Structure 1
Amino acid sequence: MWWRSVVNLHRSKNLLALTVAAADSGSSRSPISQQPAAPMGLEDTVQKAKRAAAISAVDNHIRCCTEQQVLGIGSGSTIVFAVDRLAERVKNEKLNVVCIPTSFQAEQAIVSAGLPLSKLDIHPEIDVALDGADEVDQDMNCIKGGGGCLTQEKIIASCAREFIIIADSRKDSTKLGERWDRGIPIEVIPMAYRPLQMKIEQSFGGKAALRMAARKAGPVVTDNGNFILDWKFDNLTESWKEVNTTINMMPGVVETGLFINMAQKAYFGSMTDGQVTSRGPRNMKKS
């Protein structure tokens, strides 16, 4: 019947709308970045930069061989391009890979691309983990967790022989906080969020704000059922390693969005000419 076609079309549109709205629904299970939408011209430039970085990372770190490679797949808008490139290479080069996701979004991207899905129970050791970042400093320290998946992302990164960052050039900084001004995400047990706000602010200053959802009443809830504090810091004299250790020792903290001494290499797609720059700690070269 014609009316059934109309109903099915309406349901499809609603599903698409719900998927796009997930970022603001109060859950970290988001298929898109939580950054504000850029103007159309700038958005095209950003997407091209992300795609270029993702292609370089996948081509440089995923081996062309018959031996199985275990890959960690991160979260966020940049990783979508990495998954696309990986799927293309698997199809054309018959690569033998299995993919372990860091989030609900990553799992959906892997499945949609037709890539083999696995988990840490089966493959506890990972060859290469690919992920995005909110900011990367000259020592390869990273802020991650803008999308709310920091705990899973850090677990996967810690299991990987190589942890590779993919981003556009806006994320490349000399020091943390130079460009990223939304604070360091900290995943916390819900009942402890208020005492932790006070302890973090008393220990290091700044402001630790509970991340609130945009399209539901109440806070954002992670895939693990926890809350997120976004700690906006200023004038820190402590090392990031010391800060990370101190916060992680506070009862009720699940994990911080500080990734210290974890990434081996970062790929940045230029916002001007589309070129990709790669670097490790305190070095830089064209890819």
Structure 2
Amino acid sequence: MDEGINAGKKAAAYKAVDDFVKDNQIIGVGSGSTIVYSIDRIAERVKNENLKLICIPTSFQARQAIIERGLTLGQLEMNPKLDIAIDGADEVDYQLNCIKGGGGCQTQEKIVDYCAEEFILVADYRKDSEHLGDSWKKGIPIEVIPMAYKPVQMKIQSKLGGKANIRMATKKAGPVVTDNGNLILDWCFEGKQNWEQVDTFLHSIPGVVETGLFIQSAKMVYFGTAEGKVYTRNKNQDMLNSH
């Protein structure tokens, strides 16, 4: 991957951890390539500052990363209230709506992220868009119960247009199976959308488990540039003021 993109991911991830992680916190740890840098920084600070943290993973990937770095692994049954959650995004718009689930973990990510007092996004500059769909062309990930994928697919396409494609695996025959044993439909939409209405409609369809739409739930997003600099956007900022 491009060195500039990695520099941006690292810068955003490190800055978010430095700004928000404090001693004696319970932290939601997201999924994806940018979050690996966040976990690295959390591990550095635990070692250097002797922080006492409990880390709650959003996926099998996150769980393994927490264990590999010797961090304290927690679970929601024991720690249902989180201080912060730090997670990545596939695209973020000017209102802090975001698409997540390119890696297929959107259900567990949403459960963990919504348990947090403060939800922070980290991403490289490519994920910064005025409107969802400007740069992310792979659609909205929708986790579905396997027996329901066909009727859900038909309902989405008939009511919302576009195409709801079942996500196929690349190194195994057949579809991608989530950590929860379900399938994923990627809804490739056309034009601007009212995301609150879209998300409400998708959740109303029997068989839909969760969507990759996170509607204005994040407190702040950190974007890292190719030069390794960081700019932020929060709920009280519009796009023009964020640069």
TM range (shorter): over 0.9
Equivalent position to 1:243, from 195, 198, 218: 198
Structure 1 vs Structure 2 CA RMSD: 1.1
Matching of residues 81-100 of structure 1 within 5 Å:
81-100=37-56
* Distance (Å, rounded) in 2 between the aligned partners of 1:95 and 1:175: 39
What is the letter of the counterpart of residue 229 of structure 2? Q
What is the letter of the counterpart of residue 18 of structure 2? D
Query: Following TM superposition, by how much is the alpha carbon of 1:61 offset from its aligned partner in structure 2, in angstroms?
Result: 0.6
- What's 2:138 paired with? 182
* Distance (Å, rounded) in 2 between the aligned partners of 1:215 and 1:89: 36
* Distance (Å, rounded) in 1 between the aligned partners of 2:48 and 2:73: 19
Mapped pair 1:279 → 2:233:
yes
User: Which protein shows a greater Rg?
Assistant: 1
Post-superposition Cα deviations, 1:208-258, rounded to whole Å, max 9, x if no partner, equal 00000111111000000000000000024x510010011011000000000
State the SS of the aligned residue for 2:110. helix
Q: With the length of structure 2 as denominator, give the TM-score of the two structures.
A: 0.96
Structure 1: gaps (5+ residues): 1-37
Query: Following TM superposition, by how much is the alpha carbon of 1:133 offset from its aligned partner in structure 2, in angstroms?
Result: 0.2
Q: With the length of structure 1 as denominator, give the TM-score of the two structures.
A: 0.82
Matching of residues 105-254 of structure 1 within 5 Å:
105-236=61-192, 238-254=193-209
Tell which has more relative contact order, 1 or 2 (C-alpha 8 A, sep 6+).
Answer: 2
Equivalent position to 1:256, from 203, 211, 214: 211
Structure 2: gaps (5+ residues): none
- What's 1:47 paired with? 6
* Distance (Å, rounded) in 2 between the aligned partners of 1:155 and 1:235: 29
What is the letter of the counterpart of residue 207 of structure 2? G
State the SS of the aligned residue for 1:88. helix
- What's 1:268 paired with? 223
* Distance (Å, rounded) in 2 between the aligned partners of 1:217 and 1:109: 27
Quick check: 165-174 or 44-53, which moved more? Answer: 44-53
* Distance (Å, rounded) in 1 between the aligned partners of 2:64 and 2:113: 19
* Distance (Å, rounded) in 1 between the aligned partners of 2:166 and 2:198: 19
State the SS of the aligned residue for 1:208. strand
* Distance (Å, rounded) in 2 between the aligned partners of 1:221 and 1:140: 28
